[in-house]
Amino acid sequence: MKSFPRLIIFFFYIVSVLSFNKAKAQSAFVPLGTNTYNYLDRLEIKSGVFLTDIHTSVKPYRRDFIVNAVHQFDTIYPSVRFSHTDGKILEYLDNDNSEYIESDTINSNKPVFYFYRTKADFYSVKTENFMMRLNPVIQFGIGADTFTNDGSRFINTRGVEARGWVSQKVAFYIYIGENQARYTKYVQNYTNRAGAVPGEGYFKNFKGTGVDFLTTRGYIDFTAAKHINITFGRDKNFLGNGYRSLQLSDFSEDYLFLRLKTQIWKLEYTNIFADLTSDFLRGGDRLLPKKYAAFHHLSLNATRFLNAGLFEGVVFHRKDAFEFQYLVPLIFYRGVEQGLGSPDNAFIGADIKINFLRAFSLYGQLMIDDMNITALRAGTGYWGNKLGSQIGLKYVDAFTVENLDLQFEGNWVRPYTYTHYDSVSNYTHYNQPLAHPVGANFSEIIVIARYQPTGNFWITAKWFDIFMGQDSLKGVYPNLYSTNFGGNIQQTATEPTVNSLYGNKIAQGVNTHLTIGELTFTYMLRHNLFIDAGLTYRAAYSNIHRYDEGVFYWYASVRLNIPAKLMEF
């Protein structure tokens, strides 16, 4: 039997089990990148207790769970100093997840015939056996930057999204968006090297330096047993509490996945089985090479304020086959590898979150690709010690200023992390990293300020300071490099191919200092209809001056039912 269809058969076996299940719980998920995630972080920290049903280290969140969390905040509202804007946030969350609200507050005061009968949705229907929310997806943006003469910057997105459930047992979600864009020069350079639009995938050239690409996401979701939820489809996942993730982020293209999530007591256990695209050279119509991944994440709410998690993952490929042993949901992958004599690329990690004083959240993440403890203790800079770490702090109502939230985060990833001895099993999908956008061999400091004085207006400022080591020639594919310093995770990494066995340190190679600053103003005209205006400054300075680049970019956009798309790498 060939390839990923084996996993599909496994999935449909679970569906057959579902047919005997009387459970009715189901829900679509809130798309990654929306304000909902910042809102819930803020409200959780201020409440002093973790969100009901939600473990924030695993995203996206189910909509019905978000409604449960909002009701949790309603019950403790008198004992917590929520601001007027917090009240507007709670109202927004109710409207945004209206299918689970039994109240007239979600209804529109001015419906247009059969449309916008609820405040949030263009068209809505809800009966005993069928529910659907249908919305257009639109973004029109324009901008300009300095130091280039290849035309204005723009993005033009038109599409539709729909979510709902059937017979109160199976939820569904679909998103289709047609896009044309001309990004800034550094995004164009990345797109040309990777053969993919960052965060997206396949593209066609559009008006010279522009791109034309299609975004499609969709899944079904159901509850197979009282505490076990299953999602199957094409989308993204995110593990961690930080702005970045060193375990699994939403930077790469969407991918096919099967996700099992088990919640019981204070535990949440997540299994993700993914069908990925291996490294490829952009060209004519042909079947792209495949690889696969399996991830486990265990989250424990140890106390009212302490959450801890464990992570393991493996990226692998077989000739026309999926490795069935990785489908076992409760197992340690290193043991499977030993039993198989496996050449696969396995990872382990951990994460932690501590909320305190109803104002702060301290979080961290660890990612271990390979580690030689003897060499690590000796401090010799051994190339095979491939590690990544993160530490961060969130501070809400900072310095007693209501609705001013700050976030500080540091990320460090050693050279050669996420790489493997072949270029197929590296930690990428569609030529893009599955974790941090930079790849490896970098240190990063992030500062973010969010100020929302009213329910409909907010200001966001971000600052990224990154020291990274590039290889001696730019490009994505291994044959374009003359020296492997450990930054490009698509290069093979073995003792004969690395620059040095010992003495390796972060940002080695072509040392580059990258600075990114952003200032964004956003106003919400009505539910999920936004007007944005912003400035972006990006400068890279290197000890090889041909790597230097700088841009100052302004933009304005109108968007409906779509998160802001910013290229922060």
pLDDT digits 0-9 by tens, 169-183:
999 999 999 999 999
Residue 338's pLDDT is what? 58
To the nearest 10 degrees (0 to 180), the angle between helices 63-76 and 84-96 is: 150
Position 476 confidence tier, pLDDT thresholds 50, 70, 90: very low
Name residues whose C-beta falls within 8 Å of residue 374's C-beta, 6 or more positions apart in sequence: none
Task: Give percent of the chain above pLDDT 70.
Answer: 90
What's the CA gap between 309 and 229, in Å, rounded?
Answer: 19
Give the mean model confidence (pLDDT) for residues 85-91.
93
Residue that the structure tokens 């660890």 belong to: 366
| 3-class secondary structure, 563 | coil
Instruction: Detail the DSSP E strand segments found in 237-376.
Output: 238-239, 255-264, 267-277, 290-301, 306-316, 345-356, 360-370
- For 400-429, what is each residue's pLDDT tens digit? 999 999 999 999 999 999 999 888 899 999
Tell me the whole-structure pTM to 2 decimals.
0.94
Lowest-confidence region among 302-311, 491-500, 501-510: 491-500
Lowest-confidence region among 49-63, 175-189, 333-347, 506-520: 333-347
Asked whether residue 528 carries a pLDDT value surpassing 80, the answer given is yes
Which pairing describes strands 404-413 and 386-395: parallel, antiparallel, or unpaired? Answer: antiparallel
Instruction: Detail the DSSP E strand segments found in 317-456.
Output: 345-356, 360-370, 386-395, 404-413, 428-429, 432-433, 442-454
Give the mean model confidence (pLDDT) for residues 286-294.
89
Q: 472 and 486 in contact (C-beta within 8 Å)?
A: no
Position 25 confidence tier, pLDDT thresholds 50, 70, 90: low
Residue 228, token pair as written in the block: 């076990």
Burial profile 381-390: b = 16 or more Cβ within 10 angstroms, e = fewer:
bbbbbbbbbb
What's the CA gap between 213 and 235, in Å, rounded?
Answer: 16
Under the phi-then-psi rule, with left for phi > 0, alpha for psi from -120 to 50, and beta for the rest, what region is 286? beta
Which pairing describes strands 170-182 and 204-206: parallel, antiparallel, or unpaired? Answer: unpaired
What's the CA gap between 462 and 38, in Å, rounded?
Answer: 14
| Total residues found in the chain within this entry | 569
Asked whether residue 103 carries a pLDDT value surpassing 80, the answer given is yes
Q: 515 and 538 in contact (C-beta within 8 Å)?
A: yes
What's the CA gap between 548 and 534, in Å, rounded?
Answer: 24
Alpha carbon 149 to chain centroid, angstroms: 33
**What is the residue-averaged pLDDT of the chain?**
89
Identify the CATH number of the domain defined by range 5-560: 2.40.160.130
Asked whether residue 360 carries a pLDDT value surpassing 70, the answer given is yes
Residue 423, token pair as written in the block: 């270029």
DSSP category for residue 333: H
Residue 473's pLDDT is what? 60
Query: Which of 17-31, 237-251, 486-500, 538-552 has maximum average pLDDT?
Result: 237-251
Better pLDDT: 547 or 48: 48
Residue 567's pLDDT is what? 74
Residue that the structure tokens 């972060």 belong to: 506
- For 137-186, what is each residue's pLDDT tens digit? 999 999 998 877 777 899 999 999 999 999 989 999 999 999 999 999 99
Residue 219, token pair as written in the block: 């899944």
Residue 227, token pair as written in the block: 């505490």
What's the CA gap between 1 and 334, in Å, rounded?
Answer: 26
Asked whether residue 479 carries a pLDDT value surpassing 60, the answer given is no
Q: 135 and 160 in contact (C-beta within 8 Å)?
A: yes
Distances in Å between the alpha carbon of 249 and those of 88, 210, 239? 29, 26, 6
Residue 179, token pair as written in the block: 């896009």
Residue 505's pLDDT is what? 95
Closest alpha carbon to 167 in 371, 381, 19, 299 = 19
